[in-house]
Structure 1
């Protein structure tokens, strides 16, 4: 890291400290780990715990699996129980957690990190927690109760941040990693006249059948970050796997965690969207967007061979992520909500 980068990191850290609420020495219990919890959510648990420790002090935050939470609440007598994850039926014990928390007078919060894909099952937690945080801006309107706030997912500096390297060898023109959901396949098929002219790597379960440049492989996070560094353009495609979302068929609005993770890793992303929701988080000179093949072809023509422009845009997106879109930022927002509501 250069001296300039070090100064920026210090300034960002100081800024977060300045905005941090006055620390209260509360005991906090963090619980998650339901059956359907995604791999990504499981990985960020330690980072969320660090964010809570920043607000409440080291030694005051304990993280447990949801199956052990009720017992831990009885033993620790926390002032705040912060639950998170999936709330699908038969997969969690969050009702038991809430009842145990109420017995000791704890404030209860739930961060729904799989919205809106499970929205039909939100009765599992809708009336059990004092405050609900939803990771989806549009989905949070469907809880039909008060004290529901939008809280996006984010990035973890320890897991996702990689210093940008201007000299990195870019051997891949277009990269996408992720499961081949039907909506993603539809987008990629539409882009094929452009993609066929490029060196592409489309990787993830379900892609192999589509030919050269496609693979069914599953890759680890470190492999993915290494692929980012070798890629000129990284496609960002939303998913459409709706476990329990048939009543209202809520379309996801907020960018998923991969957006923030890839930006922290220094990837130059090309974001597919039709709602312009991304502009709540990143500017046009940080992450370009497309909604059809013509848009995508224009992006390829403009950015593919302009290494300096891509580097500058990726740098801006990374800086914004490290300043505004880390899990530490999200926890700070959550704690501020609780304080504004008079719960802490």
Structure 2
């Protein structure tokens, strides 16, 4: 019995040393990448911009930071006060983020009044294609439409929008960043997001394959799971603040990114049933934390990351479980992929760089 206790203690110490070494390697690699990442060399345009945020802080703050580095004058107003502020500062451009959910009923009238002042208006839709039942009515109200979703570009042109652009979102690197976290944030596998039907199906199918792993799942509606009782110890229901999400990303060996369903139904207002072809902002945010990411595929993914080199992909629940087991057993391979994903994100997918590209697309070189 004494020999067994010693053996178990020895294995525990060995595992602790391996984990400590792996975390030390990760911390050092992330620090070196972050410190050596080239700073975005913004050349400020002589441009006055009024920014109307959407109320989702991670994207709002990132876009605001990007604008601040790319224009000489930046003003911000709530949706309720967009006309009041526009009439006061007379911007060259009023950029509205998303224009959904938190915007007041009179916002279309305010928008028309702003255009009546001769001010160029633009919207950057963040929920395409999931809210096309609403966006097809809103898009024609703007001079310029920007969408992060490939499938809606032609839609907006077909309904009469004359100036339409495709532009993905990015990562707010000041917020989504590598950091050391305590054991309470650590896991083998982490997923943060609402329990949309496709996600429920994947986790139900994967539940037995996750047995014995430290799994953390955050978000609403996870009572939909058939395997809810089995996975309940791993689930925290409800909204998770952004800064807590960052800590859990940093503490996870593997972060799953599973896009929401695009099919028309109870989980969205995609009344035109357009496919989801583009990656979500979370793809960039997970990578910016230096976390290893397992994501389902979207058509434009390889424009931004190299699967197998800077993140990894999966196709269905069985493949997800196989990939989880594969990469949990290969610490070095997993860490190097995550490090390359971080480097690519800092190099190309920060908001200052993305907003610079956006303004050029809109005709402000």
Same fold flag (TM > 0.5): yes
Q: Which of 194, 207, 210 matches 1:179?
A: 194
Measured after TM superposition, the shift of residue 54 of structure 1 is 1.8
- Matching residue of 1:325: 349
**Alpha-carbon shift at residue 133 of structure 1 (Å):** 0.3
Does 1:74 find its partner at 2:87?
yes
Q: What number of residue pairs does the alignment pair up?
A: 323
Do residues 126 (structure 1) and 139 (structure 2) align? yes
1:215 aligns with 2:236: yes
More helix by share: 2
Q: Are 2:36 and 1:8 aligned?
A: yes
Instruction: Determine the C-alpha separation between the residues in 1 that align with 2:299 and 2:362.
Output: 29
SS in 2 for 1:245: coil
Which has the greater radius of gyration?
A: 2
Taking the aligned partners of 1:316 and 1:203, their CA distance within structure 2 comes to 26
- CA-CA distance at 1:129 after TM superposition: 1.6
The alpha-carbon deviation at position 170 of structure 1 amounts to 8.8
* 1:283 matched to 2:311: no
Residue range with higher mean Cα deviation, 89-98 or 99-108? 89-98
1:308 is displaced (CA, Å) by: 1.5
Q: Distance in 1 between matches of 2:184 and 2:218?
A: 20
How far the C-alpha of 1:332 sits from its partner, in A, is 1.1
Query: Residue 45 of structure 2: SS of its match in structure 1?
Result: coil
Q: Distance in 2 between matches of 1:50 and 1:89?
A: 21
Q: Does 1:203 align with 2:225?
A: no
CA distance in 2, matches of 1:82, 1:134: 13
What does the per-residue CA deviation read over 1:303-324, in whole Å, with 9 as the maximum and x for residues that have no partner?
1122221111111111111121
Q: Which residue of 1 aligns with 2:292?
A: 268
- Any gaps of 5 or more consecutive residues in structure 2? 1-26
- 2:269 aligned partner: 244
Contact map agreement 2:278 2:301 (CA 8 A) in 1? yes
Question: What is the deviation of 1:102?
Answer: 2.5
TM-aligned CA distance change 1:270 to 1:113, over 3 Å: same
1:162 aligns with 2:182: no
User: Using the alignment, how far apart are the partners of 1:337 and 1:270 within structure 2?
Assistant: 31
Pair 1:168–1:280, CA change in 2 (3 A):
farther
Q: Tell me the residue number matched to 1:258.
A: 282
Q: Check whether the contact 1:66–1:92 (CA below 8 A) recurs between aligned residues.
A: no
Aligned to 1:98: 111
Q: Report the Cα offset of residue 276 of structure 1.
A: 4.3
Structure 1 residue aligned with 2:207: 192
Structure 1 position 124, deviation (Å): 3.3
The alignment's C-alpha RMSD in Å is 2.7
Q: Does 2:133 align with 1:108?
A: no
CA contact (8 A) 2:58 2:242 kept: no
User: Structure 1's 293 and 93: CA in aligned 2 closer, same or farther, altered over 3 A?
Assistant: same
Normalising by structure 2, what TM-score? 0.80
Question: Could you tell me which residue of structure 2 aligns to residue 51 of structure 1?
Answer: 66
**Which residue in the other structure is 1:311 paired with?**
335
Task: Find the aligned partners of 2:97 and 2:109 in 1 and give their Cα distance.
Answer: 14
Deviates more, 1:236-245 or 1:307-316: 236-245
Aligned to 1:293: 317
Contact 1:73 1:100 survives alignment (8 Å)? no
Within 1, Cα distance between the matches of 2:361 and 2:84? Answer: 27
Q: Tell me if 1:29 matches 2:50.
A: yes
C-alpha distance in structure 2 between counterparts of 1:171 and 1:69, whole Å: 43
SS of the aligned residue for 1:173 comes to strand
Deviation of 1:156 after TM superposition, in Å, equals: 0.5
Q: For 2:32 and 2:237, how far apart are their aligned partners in 1?
A: 41
Deviations 1:176-231 (A, max 9, x none): 12111111101111222311242222222222561232332432222222222222
Closer, same or farther: CA 202–53 of 1 in aligned 2, 3 Å: closer
Counterparts in 2 of 1:28 and 1:206: CA distance versus 1, 3 Å:
same
